[in-house]
Amino acid sequence: MTLVLPLIAALSYLIASFAALTPAARPERLRWVAPLGVVAFAAHLVPLVLRGRHHGPDLQFFSAFSLVAAACVLVLLILMQWQRLQRLAAVVFPIAAMAVVAAFAFDRGPGASPIGDWRIATHALLALLAFATLAIAAVVAIQLGVQDHALRTHRLTRWFSGAPPLVQVEQLLFQLIGAGFLLLTLALVTGGLFVQDLMAQHLAHKTVLSALAWLVRWVRPKPCTALSAFQPPCTR
């Protein structure tokens, strides 16, 4: 694999990140964030597909990091079609650029743990999508907190000019949490069905942490909001 595609992906991610930080006086630059993100994602995805076409996803450390970053970018690009979330690219895209370069630089050999079973690959894919969705939800939660604080203290800056209204950000956050919880549930179910020993030495910590994350989401107090597409409005 040559350096061309990783270089195109990294440069496109970085240019899109700078465009996402554009001041309010130049809002037309925000229009370039999604197209540049699509170009970067395509150049990012091709090496991953080429490396995994024979033995499944490459799960070496930096390659797995690159795969997770690509999933996060995909989720963000999809959300950009309905929400004004171009500003979040300034957080997600630089991480993706770092991941694609690191995977090329350090994981150039054959993968140590190829996945040949489609059932295990399905479980891994669901776990990857759950992590990516919840990671984007964490970024959206940070934006929500900063935007809410700025609104309460009357310190709204030009950076928020391209951001969606606070209500829409809150709605998106609960939808992402609900979608991530659903994907995590499916990942745990498929793991229980397809993995022979979930408590094996190399899987025990992953199983325990995933189950704890699921339980924390399940038992925590439900928010009194009618915004969530996954929850009915609660009564006080």
pLDDT, the chain, mean: 78
- Given a cut of 60, whether residue 4 has pLDDT beyond it is yes
DSSP letters for 110-179: --SS----HHHHHHHHHHHHHHHHHHHHHHHHHHHHHHHHHHHTT---GGGGGSPPHHHHHHHHHHHHHH
Three-state secondary structure of 60-76: CHHHHHHHHHHHHHHHH
Say if residues 130 and 137 touch (Cβ distance below 8 Å). Answer: no
- Report pTM: 0.72
Buried b (16+ CB within 10 A) or exposed e, 107-143: beeebeeebeeeebebbbbbbbbbbbbbbbbebbeeb
Query: d(Cα 32, Cα 93) in Å, to the nearest integer?
Result: 13
* More confident of the two residues 36 and 162: 36
Poorest-confidence range of 11-15, 86-90, 115-119, 192-196? Answer: 115-119
In whole angstroms, how large is the CA radius of gyration of the chain? 19
Q: Is 76 exposed, middle or buried (0-12, 13-18, 19+ CB in 10 A)?
A: buried
Q: What is the pLDDT of residue 220?
A: 63
Q: What is the pLDDT of residue 167?
A: 83
- Given a cut of 50, whether residue 25 has pLDDT beyond it is no
Q: Which of 133, 114, 122, 15 is nearest to 68 (CA)?
A: 133
CA dihedral 60, 61, 64, 66 (to 10 degrees): -120
Q: What is the pLDDT of residue 159?
A: 60
112-159 confidence digits (pLDDT tens): 555 666 777 788 888 888 888 888 888 888 888 888 887 888 776 666
Query: d(Cα 128, Cα 71) in Å, to the nearest integer?
Result: 7
Say if residues 194 and 123 touch (Cβ distance below 8 Å). Answer: yes
Query: d(Cα 115, Cα 34) in Å, to the nearest integer?
Result: 32
Query: d(Cα 61, Cα 103) in Å, to the nearest integer?
Result: 8
- Given a cut of 60, whether residue 1 has pLDDT beyond it is no
The band of 202, judged by pLDDT with boundaries at 50, 70 and 90, is: low
Query: d(Cα 174, Cα 226) in Å, to the nearest integer?
Result: 10
Say if residues 66 and 101 touch (Cβ distance below 8 Å). Answer: no
Q: Is 71 exposed, middle or buried (0-12, 13-18, 19+ CB in 10 A)?
A: buried
Say if residues 117 and 196 touch (Cβ distance below 8 Å). Answer: no
